[in-house]
Amino acid sequence: MTINNALFEPINIGNIQLSGRFVKSATVETLCDQAGFVTAQYIQHYEELAQGGTPLIITGAASYNTFSRGVPYQLAVDHDDKIEGLKKLADTVHQYGSKIMVQIYHTARQAAPAPMGRSKAQAPSVVSEPILGVKPDAMSIEEIHESIQQYADAAERCKIAGMDGVQIHAAHGYLLSSFLTPHTNRRRDSYGGSFENRLRLLLEIYHEVRKRVGSDFPVIMKINGSDDLPYRKGLSTETLVKIAKRMEQEGIDAVEVTAGHYESGFTFERGNFKGYTRNVLKHGMGVHFSKMKRSFMWLFAPVVDLYFQRSARFSAGFNIPYARQFTKALNVPVICVGGLNTKQQMSEALANNDCDMVSAARGLVADPYLYHHMKNNLKGPECNYCNACFSRPGVNPLDCYDPHIKAEKVQMLAREQPELVELAEEAL
């Protein structure tokens, strides 16, 4: 394997073959309608990624019930009436030769309930989320069992719609991550306490999903490489690798490695947080907060931004040290996300056996043709990790909000899109 071609070699995930080792990592798009139905704008967003030859596309986090939704205009797979739109999405992506999976998640305590039209947030235990100030209710056993069935229903809908797989989101402090982590899981029943008990919900969801979709439908998982919760009972890399190894034994088809909870200071979105909090208040979910909460956050925004800036300092490939440990322990493909934005960075990670595949989110927001550009040694718009896109979910659509990079993106699409569409039509 040479440093120049590793990125473009095929690889299998379960029974599907990908044309290369590059993945579009999940991002919340704010492009669906209020009920979570796929829209023309949503399809256009993913069509551009497929036009760029992205081998595997993972949709932004999809909710599966009322309590799992994190922001408005988010994809939902909560009812059978969503299947038609999902099928249109899958068919559109497939005509360019790309594969597509749906990431399914539950936001747990990491979303304010009121803007989502509900009275409470669900979590394993009553542990307040300090960044958003949300105090959740502990899920009852009945609610847990209902959630398992609803999760599996959602996965089955994805298969019926012609998707190529699903990703179970067990990272970033969302529901499954918060059940795994002692800091957020303080239950004293069969879903808390011991390692096996804290793992129980993830296992039960995986088993029910697998029962519904069968062995020939890829089911992959996103997991932290570190919880990034110093001085709290967060999970270490060693324990998280142990969880991934157990999931491999159960039949998971691939593992994507990331890091952090919201409480960690957004270490999964390392970059520039200068002005971030006030951007949220002006352009993101902060517009839905109460006047008192908005005033308080505006006043302390510089302090909050400084905390994020120090907690989430950027470095290229910032999750590679974690991914390397997973790659050593697992036989299924390990995908590394985080600060990988250039052909050289990605190829080096693969050549060094730090991971089997690489994924990007913000890089593809700036340049949806990133894979095509890397493969053909072309220059495209390059993300500067300003995190303006990260501050706007739920209110403004996913896009690049750096004016210079956005202008370059618009010009690039106008210049290159017709040719790529024509090539795809000729290949059909």
CATH code, domain carrying 195: 3.20.20.70
Question: Left if phi > 0, otherwise alpha if psi is -120 to 50, otherwise beta: which for 106?
Answer: beta
Assess contact for 374 and 367: CB atoms under 8 A.
no
Give Cα separations from 70 to 114, 196, 198, 305 (angstroms). Answer: 11, 28, 23, 22
SS3 of residue 274 by DSSP:
coil
218 in the same domain as 175: yes
**Could you tell me if residue 31 is inside a domain?**
yes
**Percent above pLDDT 90 for the chain:** 91
Query: In terms of Cα–Cα distance, which of 310, 318, 231, 303 is closest to 268?
Result: 318
pLDDT at 197 over 70: yes
209 in the same domain as 69: yes
pLDDT digits (tens, 9 = 90+) for 377-409: 999 999 999 999 999 999 999 999 999 999 999
Q: What total number of domains does the chain contain? A: 2
Give Cα separations from 407 to 14, 263, 366, 403 (angstroms). Answer: 39, 34, 10, 6
175 in the same domain as 90: yes
Band the pLDDT of 1: cuts 50, 70, 90: very low
236 in the same domain as 257: yes
Instruction: Tokens for 199, please give them.
Output: 């793992």
Assess contact for 324 and 240: CB atoms under 8 A.
no
| Residue 168 backbone phi and psi in degrees, to 5 | -85, 120
Looking at residue 35, the DSSP 8-state letter turns out to be T
325 in the same domain as 299: no
**Could you tell me if residue 1 is inside a domain?**
no
Instruction: Tokens for 326, please give them.
Output: 């997973």
Strand spans (E) along 2-98: 11-13, 16-18, 22-24, 56-58
pTM given for the model: 0.95
pLDDT at 297 over 60: yes
Band the pLDDT of 421: cuts 50, 70, 90: confident
pLDDT at 376: 95
**Could you tell me if residue 390 is inside a domain?**
yes
Distant-in-sequence, close-in-space partners of 110: CB < 8 Å, separation ≥ 6 = 70, 129, 131, 132, 134, 172, 173, 174, 261, 262
**Could you tell me if residue 255 is inside a domain?**
yes
pLDDT digits (tens, 9 = 90+) for 173-195: 999 999 999 999 999 999 999 99
Could you tell me which residues are beta bridge partners of residue 218? none
Per-residue pLDDT averaged across 212-233, rounded?
Answer: 96
**Could you tell me if residue 214 is inside a domain?**
yes
End position of a domain, from candidates 311, 339, 364: 311
Structural domain that includes position 300: 272-311
Give Cα separations from 101 to 46, 59, 205 (angstroms). Answer: 12, 6, 17
Question: Left if phi > 0, otherwise alpha if psi is -120 to 50, otherwise beta: which for 19?
Answer: alpha
Per-residue pLDDT averaged across 238-254, rounded?
Answer: 99
280 in the same domain as 236: no
What b/e string do you get for 328-341 counting C-beta neighbours within 10 Å, with b at 16 or more? eebebbbbbbbbbb
**Could you tell me if residue 283 is inside a domain?**
yes
pLDDT digits (tens, 9 = 90+) for 346-383: 999 999 999 999 999 999 999 999 999 999 999 999 99
pLDDT at 4: 52
Alpha-carbon gap, residue 56 to 66, rounded angstroms = 28
400 in the same domain as 291: no
Alpha-carbon gap, residue 123 to 127, rounded angstroms = 8
Query: In terms of Cα–Cα distance, which of 194, 164, 158 is closest to 179?
Result: 194
281 in the same domain as 187: no
Distant-in-sequence, close-in-space partners of 141: CB < 8 Å, separation ≥ 6 = 189, 191
262 in the same domain as 214: yes
pLDDT at 260: 96
- Distance from the Cα of residue 20 to its chain's centroid: 20
Alpha-carbon gap, residue 342 to 257, rounded angstroms = 18
End position of a domain, from candidates 255, 280, 311: 311
398 in the same domain as 284: no
Distant-in-sequence, close-in-space partners of 222: CB < 8 Å, separation ≥ 6 = 26, 103, 167, 168, 169, 170, 171, 172, 255, 256, 258
**Percent above pLDDT 70 for the chain:** 98
End position of a domain, from candidates 289, 311, 333: 311
Q: Average pLDDT, whole number, for the chain? A: 95
pLDDT digits (tens, 9 = 90+) for 103-142: 999 999 999 888 888 989 999 999 999 988 899 999 999 9
384 in the same domain as 280: no
| Residue 211 backbone phi and psi in degrees, to 5 | -60, -35
